[in-house]
Structure 1
Amino acid sequence: MKTFKTMKASNLLGLLMTTAALLAAGCNKKLDLTPQSDYNTEDFYKTANDFRQAVFGAYGGLRSVHGFDYPMMMESLSDNVNTLQNTTNNPLARFGFTAGDDRILGVWSAYWTVINRTNNILDQIDGGDFPNELVRTIMRGETRFIRGYCYFQLGWIFGGMPIIDRRMSAEEIATIPRASQAETFAFAVADMAAGAEVLPEQQGGDNLGRVTKFAAKAILARVHLYGRDYESAKPLLEEILAYEGLTPYENYVDCFVNTRDNGSEHVFQIQYTSGLNSQGNPLVYSLVPENLRSELFPQGGRSTWIAVSNDLYESYDTADVRRDLTIQQGYASGNDVVDSLTLLYIKYAHGTVPPNKEDNDVNFSIVRITDVQLMYAEVLNELGYVADGEAFALLNGVRNRAGVDSLTVLDAPDQETFREAVFGERRLEFAGEALRWFDIVRQGPEKATEIMTAFLARAEEGGGQISFDAKYLLMPIPASELRTNPTLAQNPGY
């Protein structure tokens, strides 16, 4: 586990110690994120402890969506997943989904639930009974970050969102139209920047896993990077990389072992705890081979819920340790015979496993420090390619940990080839971590269509029988939401 340094200002330390006591989660390892959904918010949020419980409810909403619907949807859309063998998520993988898709609705509903919870908190926090203003300020910033993160996610998945920045009745919400995507991101940036200003550099003890200043700045940098605002992303990434408490693990596998959760590799993780009010992570069980029998995961898994593409597997160098730590051959259903045609994710099954398959203890990383390194390499390249410059060193640090030789100027002699190398490395480093689809989308409609069309033309992906349209770069607004709010406009093509 990460060891945290003492805060420099003694008066601030005293206030933060008070804050830690008030914000304690009641669990030595990870936060107890049991949502307080049964309370009447008009009467409930009065004391600092009341607001603490409400914030945990917001974290609980993130825990819910990142444990299943979100990673399932994002991986299935990308070229990481086989379109023909991906059984449960077949409509997403084959681009046959509609506005009535349950997975899409699940992601939409989960993020909006969290936004509603954060608005309830923010509307009442100024009137709450807090022992000092620092406690209130930090909790307000934390809540605004969570809300901003949700708007950022929704904006990239669905496009412009209605800006709901306070508690509203259902009738009032139904009158709010969609803002533009740019307006949605501007709102998200303002929220996350407000959080980054006041959040502590680290969270220790019972607060381990709560968002930090560096987590907020990492997501904020991601927003700017995705929007190609490299000048704004650069100082945020530099500050994170300069912090000595965030460094890559020596071994890649440790990034996905539950005993190394919340360590120096992880900038921001969604917290999961087995045996505590159904707060375990079901993703592991949903990804691994059905009849996998090993000491690491004796219960087996759901097999081809997510079948990995040959295109991803073949993209790894044979010396790359990430390949076999991320992907393995599956088993034919009902027996122990290896099915060499089926490739499945094994990434999250390297740690200890609880008796309940869907109650795994491994966290889900939103940002790892290698993500920050590769984002910074991308920023440096976009601001001006330098042969064998710092961007090369950052990229090669990630490659070398995986056992892969360094990229040279001969491999990437200009800005365009280095850009391709960064995106290629991101695919290999973060396979199964729900980042690939956004990395495709943010390259723009023309490039994204080129990538997906080439992928779908492969024989094992249907040989061109599945067509890709740029409309798929945004998911449809769920049909049920359109019925509830007639002012919402559907995305083009749906």
Structure 2
Amino acid sequence: MQSTNRLAVLITAAVILASGCTKELELTPQSTYNTEDFYQTASDFRQALFGAYGGLRSVHGFDYPMMMESLSDNVNTLQNTTNNPLARFGFTAGDDRIFGVWAAYWTVINRTNNILDQIDGGDFQNELVRTIMRGETRFIRGYCYFQLGWIFGGMPIIDRRMSAEETTTVPRATQAETFAFAVADLMAAAEVLPDHQGGDNLGRVTKFAAKAILARLYLYMQDYESAKPLLEEILAYDGLRPYDTFGDCFLNTRDNGSEHVFQIQYTSGMNSQGNPLVYSLVPENLRSELFPQGGRSTWIAVSNDLYNAYDTADVRRDFTIQKGYTGSNEVVDSLTLLYVKYAHGTVPPNKEDNDVNLSIVRITDVRLMYAEVLNELGYVADGEAFALLNTVRSRAGLGSLSSSDAPDQGTFREALFRERRLELAGEALRWYDIVRQGPEKATEIMGAFLARPEEGGGQITFEPHYLLLPIPASELRTNPILTQNPGY
């Protein structure tokens, strides 16, 4: 495979699942995709693009959300029934789940480079179709580089198909350089993508998806001035509005609606197209109406710290988290906390075949991002940032916050991150929110969490180098030009 990116060769071991995009699209088996593929027609490129979307579906269906939640203070460290080293910060560069996330994103990057290298020479009867497909591909590549950059730090910048030998000459860029590359891709995508994708293209990325991810990247970089106009444009679009009811955001019957800026698409009744995350979050021996066939052996227990952070009047708590469960042996566990956020829709005949989508960005998240931007650019007592935050609280059944509750920029910032945690619990964003607050604040948050008797019991010390995960050991062995992150 002379044209194969070395990073992507290793990825095949991660068993990336089939390609595909939306519930309406015909899905093509993964076996039709490899770096030797030669695309000629618009149909060829369409199928190849489905393969890139499908790579995102694979990692977001298990490895990525499980890893992100496990690292954060949303998961109980002491209980840790899954023997999950991520939750205990006992992971090494050889951890399979870390490699799985790394591998999955590099697989997708390889697929996007394969498309972008050929798309200008393809036979398209409609140039607009070519332009939009190119935009979608650059969005996906930019998103992957953003994800890799904030999780692992600086990445090798590989923007075309390369031979295995060539990739070993590409060193790691800095994190700033990696983000700059992602920014360029996301900006290029936003310029050409449509406001909405419907019909056979339902669920594919839009201009607003690109702008939302770009704004999220700017927030990580603390570039609030650049994020502001992007978020304003999204919020001004009539097609994106929060659902009236919080629970509707996670029902399969409300997928691809006005709440959702961008979702990973899942489909039931087809080979390996369902969403496995739903049952992966609960124990294998659980039996209930939501989980008549139980869960998975590798599940995660929610932290008491997260559960207790909710007001008892907050409707999000009991929709997101179930306290206690009855096992298949009729033994009642009254204490364990479980994520059930995605399980309230149609229960599939096969527990692995749920068709509820996973949102990467919701419009409610956009509102919270914009409130953050306004506060960071200049605190205004009872100003627009308060109004945005209070719309989120109102849907949750909570009263409004005023300047007497958050009298300055710092206290409003704390209130905002608290609201993000409660609203977005289980959506793989809490660790991102912790990391981007910087080493000092992140160490404060995680140190206090791990010191709690019911969570870490003081048995685990959080170290700032955990904020970047290790480069997988297998990558370092295969490509010696790569360097390991400090502390590993």
1:340 aligns with 2:326: no
Partner of 2:409: 415
1:403 aligns with 2:397: yes
1:44 aligns with 2:23: no
The equivalent position to 1:241 in structure 2, one of 223, 231, 235, is 235
1:374 aligns with 2:338: no
1:200 aligns with 2:200: no
1:57 aligns with 2:51: yes
Conservation of the 8 A alpha-carbon contact between 1:482 and 1:490: yes
CA distance in 1, matches of 2:452, 2:55: 38
CA distance in 2, matches of 1:71, 1:484: 27
Conservation of the 8 A alpha-carbon contact between 1:76 and 1:89: no
**Displacement after TM superposition at 1:380 (Å):** 0.2
**Displacement after TM superposition at 1:38 (Å):** 3.0
Partner of 1:20: none
CA distance in 2, matches of 1:39, 1:305: 31
Greater mean deviation of Cα atoms: 396-405 or 30-39:
30-39
Q: Secondary structure at the match of 2:32?
A: coil
Conservation of the 8 A alpha-carbon contact between 1:252 and 1:402: yes
Partner of 2:480: 486
CA distance in 1, matches of 2:20, 2:296: 33
CA distance in 2, matches of 1:180, 1:154: 12
Task: Provide the TM-score with structure 1 as the length reference.
Answer: 0.92
Partner of 2:66: 72
The one-letter amino acid of 2:467's match is L
1:300 aligns with 2:289: no
Partner of 2:276: 282
1:472 aligns with 2:447: no
- Where do residues 226-265 of structure 1 align in structure 2 (5 Å cutoff)? 226-265=220-259
The one-letter amino acid of 1:150's match is C
Conservation of the 8 A alpha-carbon contact between 1:353 and 1:361: no
**Displacement after TM superposition at 1:288 (Å):** 2.9
The one-letter amino acid of 1:146's match is I
- Where do residues 173-188 of structure 1 align in structure 2 (5 Å cutoff)? 173-188=167-182
CA distance in 1, matches of 2:34, 2:76: 46
**Displacement after TM superposition at 1:460 (Å):** 1.2
- Per-residue deviation, residues 346-367 of structure 1 (Å, max 9, x unmatched): 1011000211111110101100
Conservation of the 8 A alpha-carbon contact between 2:290 and 2:344: yes
**Displacement after TM superposition at 1:27 (Å):** 9.1
**Displacement after TM superposition at 1:252 (Å):** 0.7
The equivalent position to 1:225 in structure 2, one of 203, 214, 219, is 219
The equivalent position to 1:144 in structure 2, one of 138, 144, 150, is 138
Greater mean deviation of Cα atoms: 205-214 or 106-115:
205-214
Conservation of the 8 A alpha-carbon contact between 1:477 and 1:491: yes
1:320 aligns with 2:333: no
CA distance in 2, matches of 1:76, 1:135: 40
In structure 2, relative to structure 1, the CA distance for the partners of 1:30 and 1:225 (3 Å cut) is farther
Partner of 1:214: 208
**Displacement after TM superposition at 1:171 (Å):** 1.3
Conservation of the 8 A alpha-carbon contact between 1:290 and 1:301: yes
Q: Secondary structure at the match of 1:460?
A: coil
CA distance in 2, matches of 1:33, 1:59: 11
Greater mean deviation of Cα atoms: 64-73 or 323-332:
323-332
- Where do residues 436-447 of structure 1 align in structure 2 (5 Å cutoff)? 436-447=430-441
Conservation of the 8 A alpha-carbon contact between 1:291 and 1:333: yes
Conservation of the 8 A alpha-carbon contact between 1:290 and 1:331: no
**Displacement after TM superposition at 1:461 (Å):** 1.8
The one-letter amino acid of 2:104's match is A
Partner of 1:10: none
Q: Secondary structure at the match of 1:308?
A: coil
What is the alpha-carbon root mean square deviation over aligned residues?
1.6
CA distance in 2, matches of 1:43, 1:377: 45
Identity %: 86
- Per-residue deviation, residues 448-475 of structure 1 (Å, max 9, x unmatched): 0000000000001232111100000000
The one-letter amino acid of 1:99's match is A
Task: Provide the TM-score with structure 2 as the length reference.
Answer: 0.93
Partner of 2:115: 121
Partner of 1:82: 76
The equivalent position to 1:269 in structure 2, one of 255, 263, 268, is 263
In structure 2, relative to structure 1, the CA distance for the partners of 1:182 and 1:395 (3 Å cut) is same
Q: Secondary structure at the match of 2:338?
A: strand
The one-letter amino acid of 2:39's match is Y
1:111 aligns with 2:105: yes
Conservation of the 8 A alpha-carbon contact between 1:329 and 1:343: yes
The equivalent position to 2:383 in structure 1, one of 375, 389, 397, is 389
1:361 aligns with 2:355: yes
Matched positions, count: 470
The equivalent position to 1:34 in structure 2, one of 28, 34, 38, is 28
**Displacement after TM superposition at 1:135 (Å):** 1.4
- Per-residue deviation, residues 365-400 of structure 1 (Å, max 9, x unmatched): 100010000000000000000011000010000001
Q: Secondary structure at the match of 1:90?
A: coil
Which sections of structure 1, spanning at least 5 residues, go unmatched? 1-24
CA distance in 2, matches of 1:39, 1:217: 29
- Per-residue deviation, residues 17-64 of structure 1 (Å, max 9, x unmatched): xxxxxxxx9998344443554356555300000000000000000000
The one-letter amino acid of 2:335's match is L
- Per-residue deviation, residues 124-174 of structure 1 (Å, max 9, x unmatched): 111100113211111111101100000000001000000000000111112
Q: Secondary structure at the match of 2:85?
A: helix
